[in-house]
Structure 1
Amino acid sequence: MRTWQVGDVMTRDVLTVGEQTPYRQIVDVLIRRGISAVPVVDGFRRVLGVVSEADLLHKVERAGVPEERRVFEGRRRRTAREKADALVAKDLMTAPAVTTWSESSLPAAARLMDREAVKRLPVLDDLGRLVGIVTRGDLLTVHLRSDAEIREDVVQEVLRRVLAVRDGLVTVQVRDGAVTLDGRLDRRTAAELAVRLAGQVSGVVQVASTIGYDVDDTSLVGPGVTPVG
């Protein structure tokens, strides 16, 4: 069962800058294009880092502030001071960049963004070259899928292809991305697997089930193992 991947929602036309791109030019690029960050790449489109509005704002924050160096200076304060003095992308960027792959799942990309506290991820190909960029907003577009599209995937991919459930045994209703399953199957493990797989369909926000079963076969398999077929 195929679910949406980063490559399905990412922006492919990515604006980039080089290591020697000046501060003023980067500011112009962000404002003119209405974006909040830009990847820094080398001649082979390998991502060296990312320059964000936060990196650029250090210069604004420290404008007119007398130079002050402390004997014991924390890393965060030192980084802010160095970026405030920086003039080109290689000294302004945050590196290494947090990146992902076009084949990564949307949940994996969302977890990576949350763990690393970033708002976007440059997307790389198998050779490590930039092929796109994915933002938090891009990940949310999966929930713009229509209820009809979601229902079709649950019926065709989950019930028919994976579980081989005959038509009419399970009914599927979808409203605002919430899936409701009803009917009866022969085994409890099949009923539980239907719920779990339906929850993995792209665009599903919730799954409710009243599927009954004839045999409770959970004691016949090991922990965490659900037979199919």
Structure 2
Amino acid sequence: MIVKSFVEDYMSVDVTSVKPNTSNEKVFDLMKETGHDGFPVVDEEYKVVGIITAFDLLLKDWSELVKDVMTSNVIVARGKMSTDDASRVMFRKAISRLPVVDEQNKLRGIITNTDMLRSHIERTTPNKVETFKKSMEVIYGVNLTLKRKFIDVDLIRPSQDEIYADELEGRSYELEKGLAEPVIIAHVGDRYILVDGHHRATAAFKLGLKEIDAYVVEFEDDIQLGLERTADDMGIHSFDDISIIEEDRHPLIALTETIQSKQKNK
């Protein structure tokens, strides 16, 4: 199964924008505050009419207002555009960001080259879902269906007893920015068992989110999965039962730091 990713899955929706009559001094201030080097320019109806970047401010003749230095012919994307197509556009046009607009050209979000990189790195998730689904079909001799939908966080039963504080912090940030990938859940009977994405799901629980985006593998028959037996043995019934490891880093981070340390000592 090939699952195509779309711009709307990876764009940032919390977008700082400016108006044509915004002063360029204000734009400099926004760059300092946000760390961003460019912003979409919108009119009173929130329609995109331009974009202004550090290059516009530094390389063009100085003017007081955004409208006098902004780039008016802006390349934009739609939410349903594939990330592959958006990546090609950005590469060919040598641009680092695309405002995302709706049918009325109103600003919905922005996607950057960093978001594109993330979309390609995280594309293993659908493969992970398909691998789990096929494994369950072989082990239990059943045919399963796969759906993507939002699941009530309070209905989810975790199957892992420990997570790492630093990664939990990262997943919390992604959820707050609308950037997190879906978790993987097995739906058996009236139970929703968390297969993959414990840091994301725990972050959602601690943030007080009601729902979380999920790939849901649906079982027709009510059977007990090995994941459930493992969770029973560990006494894991809710997110409150998960231990958060504060003193250690995630193994992948620790491994990277160890490699870097060894290289320095050579």
Give me the whole-angstrom Cα distance separating, in 1, the residues matched to 2:125 and 2:82. Answer: 22
Aligned residue number for residue 54 of structure 2? 53
CA contact (8 A) 1:98 1:116 kept: no
Aligned residue number for residue 206 of structure 1? none
Aligned match for 2:119, one of 119, 142, 147? 142
Give me the whole-angstrom Cα distance separating, in 2, the residues matched to 1:127 and 1:2. Answer: 28
Aligned residue number for residue 42 of structure 2? 41
Deviation at 1:36, TM superposition (A): 1.1
Aligned match for 1:88, one of 41, 62, 65? 65
Number of residue equivalences:
137
CA contact (8 A) 1:40 1:50 kept: yes
One-letter code aligned to 2:106: R
CA contact (8 A) 2:96 2:112 kept: yes
Q: Which has the larger radius of gyration?
A: 1
Give me the whole-angstrom Cα distance separating, in 1, the residues matched to 2:91 and 2:123. Answer: 27
Unpaired segments ≥5 residues, structure 2: 138-142, 145-180, 182-266
Deviation at 1:145, TM superposition (A): 2.7
1:111 correspondence with 2:80: no
SS in 2 for 1:43: coil
Deviation at 1:92, TM superposition (A): 1.3
One-letter code aligned to 2:105: G
CA contact (8 A) 2:6 2:83 kept: yes
SS in 2 for 1:15: coil
SS in 2 for 1:39: strand
One-letter code aligned to 1:45: Y
Structure 1 104/154 Cα, relative in aligned 2: closer, same or farther at 3 Å? Answer: farther
Structure 1 138/147 Cα, relative in aligned 2: closer, same or farther at 3 Å? Answer: closer
Deviation at 1:155, TM superposition (A): 7.7
Structure 1 148/20 Cα, relative in aligned 2: closer, same or farther at 3 Å? Answer: closer
| TM-score where L is the length of structure 1 | 0.54
Give me the whole-angstrom Cα distance separating, in 2, the residues matched to 1:138 and 1:108. Answer: 14
One-letter code aligned to 1:5: F
Structure 1 146/51 Cα, relative in aligned 2: closer, same or farther at 3 Å? Answer: closer
Aligned residue number for residue 102 of structure 2? 125
One-letter code aligned to 1:89: V
Unpaired segments ≥5 residues, structure 1: 59-82, 161-165, 168-202, 204-229
CA contact (8 A) 2:3 2:126 kept: no
CA contact (8 A) 1:123 1:132 kept: yes
1:140-165 deviations in whole A, cap 9, x for unaligned? 112443856523247869xx9xxxxx
1:20 correspondence with 2:21: yes
Deviation at 1:96, TM superposition (A): 1.2
SS in 1 for 2:39: strand
SS in 2 for 1:84: coil
Deviation at 1:110, TM superposition (A): 0.5
CA contact (8 A) 1:49 1:94 kept: yes
Q: Percent identity?
A: 30
| TM-score where L is the length of structure 2 | 0.47
Give me the whole-angstrom Cα distance separating, in 1, the residues matched to 2:130 and 2:38. Answer: 35
Give me the whole-angstrom Cα distance separating, in 2, the residues matched to 1:139 and 1:146. Answer: 11
Give me the whole-angstrom Cα distance separating, in 2, the residues matched to 1:11 and 1:127. Answer: 19
Root-mean-square deviation (CA), in Å?
Answer: 2.6
